[in-house]
Amino acid sequence: MGSDLFAVIMAGGRGTRFWPASTEEMPKQFLRLTGQRTMLQETADRFTGLCGRDRVMVVTGLGHRDTVLRQLPWIEEENLLLEPAGRNTAPCIGWAASVLRKRGFGSSLMAVVPSDHVIDSPEGFRETLRIAEGPAERGSLVTIGIPPDRPATGYGYLHTGDCSPGKVCSVLAFREKPDLETASEYIASGEYLWNAGMFIWKADVILDAISRHLPGLAAGLSAMGSGNPPEMDEYASLEAVSIDYGVMEKAGDVSAVPALFGWNDIGDWPSARMCGVGKGEVMCFDSGECTVWNDGRLTVLLGVSNISVVQSGGVTLVMSDDHAQELREVVARMEKEHPELT
Amino acid sequence: MGSDLFAVIMAGGRGTRFWPASTEEMPKQFLRLTGQRTMLQETADRFTGLCGRDRVMVVTGLGHRDTVLRQLPWIEEENLLLEPAGRNTAPCIGWAASVLRKRGFGSSLMAVVPSDHVIDSPEGFRETLRIAEGPAERGSLVTIGIPPDRPATGYGYLHTGDCSPGKVCSVLAFREKPDLETASEYIASGEYLWNAGMFIWKADVILDAISRHLPGLAAGLSAMGSGNPPEMDEYASLEAVSIDYGVMEKAGDVSAVPALFGWNDIGDWPSARMCGVGKGEVMCFDSGECTVWNDGRLTVLLGVSNISVVQSGGVTLVMSDDHAQELREVVARMEKEHPELT
């Protein structure tokens, strides 16, 4: 294995934009969206060769304990951190880092990754992390940046200056999700990477950064007992803030390593199409650009394009691509009117 | 009951354009498309008050015998005419008329109606037939004409001259399905009715007309034994022609009676929408003009319009309205590739 690395897989999302396939009980990261393995399983598999299975940690919601144990039966129970409530990424990462420190691994590296992204090359992922270990070992906060292929407005950007593959660069600035014009300027400049929410650093280093930039969270983490799950009161009172907004954007020494792999956060059904997401047999007639996902039945498309047809748990969703962003609101309404279907 | 009327309900269609709800085993006329009763049941119900149940005849495919008996358990077995093969309407009607003549009812009236049309007023239907009985008793071939409300190109037209509701008019000419320009001229003139394929006449009168205009069919009918179903060879050799093309367009004395009811042949999923066809719960968000039909599951539409979403028997069809005419070809292909689903 070589390095002294822990994997911290964040599996706490709700996957609202993948409803009705993704439900409160079985969110996106636990689904087989792209193949025979679930997204969580694929995320864990990707660490093979980077760290042993006894060093893979998963942070998830208390209610998903059994699902994780079913999908990753080899996981060590102490490495399965159960959140009594979702509090965004800073508390999640801070808690995982605290646990490592308490176990005597404060100076170990931790790679923090979401569990619901598609990465096309496991070997490219490993190669990228191996490069990123260098600056992380030297005390940097390191973020994996994705070389952008279009002026996407849905992601944050890292301003790095020229940063070619294989290099380690300093992050000059974090940029929030830009408008299209700004995004186009970023792309044209060649000086930006997408912020994909994948990080590597020493546990002690991120805890120090949290102490400096989120002292309230640091205090809350220090006060927490060693229970797993923690007491609801302890955890729910932690400041719900993202690690990007709460720490990274304020920290000085942040490095970026360009990803040596194709990446897609498959944020909604239309974008999932690019990753070949589709389940169930499909026959297309005069149709194109469609996502079909169901439990195996035949779907026949006749004269339709740019739509998603999703069937799961007694619900059929038919959605035009240009309304994918509104699915959250639909699910919010469903939660009131048909909670059993969300 | 008053009159000496028989109902002859034609229930032999295949309903291809209602696939996948309509299948070879369970075609459109046997489905609950518009309510709690099947289209066949609604068609039969409509004769209540016009003739006794012992005078309701149904002509259907041999394979649908049990379905008809299940849906109309009161039907007298001798009134259920079983076609060993579909041969269009002239043989079907000729056979029913022959059966009536053989039973000594040659001078009785027979009202011939399809089993898969929507009629909004049973009382209007009965009132129309009562008016039509007059000329039929006097030896006319009578057709029920639908006052058109738009220049439809999918129907044949009856040229009648001015023919207001409640009247009986002579049909001056039959017109095949017109192009839009011609249809618009018809509508503007006010001298045309739609030919809806509903007729009333004496059994002897239509048999005489068949003898005159389709002598080959008349000879075939005369040669048929009294078996029900007839021998396949006997029936399959009958000329497959419609009663409109084979007889009505050539006959001299044809009368028309304008319908005193709203009518829709619900020829495809989009047109079915107008009749409130829909099954299963639907939630619409930024959507409109959609037909949803399934076995009761919830369908959520987000940002889609002018489509039909039909789920039945392991198949989901999503079809844009402007492709409804192509469904026949899709089903033809399905019959080769997935015969179990057609």
Asked casually if ipTM beats, i.e. exceeds, 0.90, the reply is: no
Extract the tokens encoding A204: 């002690």
Contact B241, B221 (CB under 8 A): no
Whether pLDDT at B336 is above 70: yes
Single residue among B198, B231, B264 that ends a domain in this structure: B264
What residues of B are in contact with residue A330 (Cβ under 8 Å)?
283, 285, 300, 302
Confidence band of B3 (pLDDT split at 50, 70, 90): low
**Total residues found in chain A within this entry:** 342
Contact indicator for B251, B209 with CB cutoff of 8 Å? yes
Q: Which amino acid is at A197?
A: G
Pull the structure tokens for residue B313: 């028997």
pLDDT tops 80 at residue A140: yes
Q: Is the pLDDT of residue B2 over 60?
A: no
Chain B residue at shortest CA distance from A328 = B302
Determine the pLDDT at residue B113.
98
Q: What is the CA radius of gyration of chain B?
A: 20
On whether both A236 and A134 belong to a single domain, the answer is yes
Neighbouring C-beta atoms of residue A97, cutoff 10 Å: 28
Q: Answer yes or no: do B175 and B275 share one domain.
A: no
pLDDT per residue over A8-25, tens digit each?
999 998 889 999 999 999
Dist CA B8 CA A93 (whole Å): 76
Q: Which residues contact A182 (CB under 8 A, 6 or more apart)?
A: A175
Domain match, A258 and A273 both? no
pLDDT tens-digit map of A256-283:
999 999 999 888 999 888 777 776 788 9
In chain B, residues with a C-beta closer than 8 Å to the C-beta of A291 are none
**Alpha helix segments (H runs only) across chain B:** 39-45, 65-71, 89-102, 122-137, 180-189, 203-213, 215-223, 232-236, 243, 269-274, 327-337
Residues above pLDDT 70, as percent of chain B = 98
CA distance A309 to chain B (A): 8
Closest chain B residue to the Cα of A301, Cα to Cα = B318
CB contact under 8 A, A309 and B294: no
d(CA A168, CA A135): 8
| Token pair of A191 as six digits | 């000086």
Bridge-based pairing of strands B169-170 and B141-146 is unpaired
Beta bridge partners of A52: none
Residue B74 sits at the chain A interface (C-beta within 8 Å) = no
Residue that finishes a domain, picked among B264, B293, B323 = B264
Counting residues of chain A whose pLDDT is more than 70, the rounded percentage is 98
Q: What is the DSSP letter of B182?
A: H
Question: Is the domain of A313 the same as that of A191?
Answer: no
What residue of A is the nearest CA neighbor of B305?
Answer: A320
Which tokens belong to A327? 């699915």
Among candidates A263, A264, A250, A188, which has minimal Cα distance to A215?
A250
Q: How many residues does chain B have?
A: 342
Q: Are residues B321 and B217 in the same domain?
A: no
Measure CB to CB from residue A327 to each of B302, B307, B337 and give the nearest one: B302
CATH of the domain at A40: 3.90.550.10
In chain B, which residue's Cα lies nearest the Cα of A326?
B302
Would you tell me the crossing angle of helices A215-223 and A203-213 to the nearest 10 degrees? 120
Confidence of residue B342 (pLDDT cuts 50, 70, 90): confident
| pTM assigned to the model | 0.85
- What is the side-by-side order of every strand in the sheet holding B282-285? A288-293, A305-312, A315-320, B298-302, B282-285
Range of the domain at A337: 269-341
Q: Is the separation of the CB atoms in B64 and B11 below 8 Å?
A: yes
Q: Which residues contact A152 (CB under 8 A, 6 or more apart)?
A: A183, A194
At residue A3, does pLDDT exceed 70? no
Q: Is the peptide bond before B229 cis (omega within 30 degrees of 0)?
A: yes
pLDDT digits over A39-57, tens only? 999 999 999 999 999 999 9
What is the distance between the alpha carbons of residues A91 and A236, in angstroms, rounded to a whole number?
10
Instruction: Output the CA angle A296-A300-A304, nearest 5 degrees.
Output: 125
Residues B16, B75: one domain? yes
CA distance A118 to chain B (A): 26
Same structural domain for residues A147 and A286?
A: no
Same domain, A214 and A315: no
Rounded to 5 degrees, φ, ψ at B280 are 90, 150
Examine the domain organization and report whether B153 and B259 are in the same domain.
Answer: yes
Check pLDDT > 90 for residue B271: no
Best A282, A304, A328, A333 residue to mutate vs chain B (most B CBs within 10 Å): A304
Looking at CA atoms only, how far is residue A232 from chain B in angstroms? 35
Q: Which domain-ending residue is among A264, A289, A323?
A: A264
Alpha carbons A284 and A207: distance in angstroms, whole number: 53
Q: Which long-range contacts (CB under 8 A, 24 or more apart) does A234-237 make?
A: A235/A83, A235/A84, A235/A85, A235/A87, A235/A91, A235/A95, A236/A84, A236/A85, A236/A87
Q: Are residues B202 and B291 in the same domain?
A: no
pLDDT of residue A281: 84
Is pLDDT larger for residue B112 or for residue A341? B112
Across A36-91, where does the E strand assignment appear? 56-61, 80-83
Residues A98, A178: one domain?
Answer: yes
Q: Which of A316, A319, A327, A333 to mutate to test the interface with B (most CBs of B within 10 A)?
A: A316
HSE toward the beta carbon, residue A189, CA cutoff 13 A:
16
The total domain count for chain B is: 2
Of B115, B133, B114, B142, the residue nearest B199 (C-alpha): B142
B213 and B307 share a domain?
Answer: no
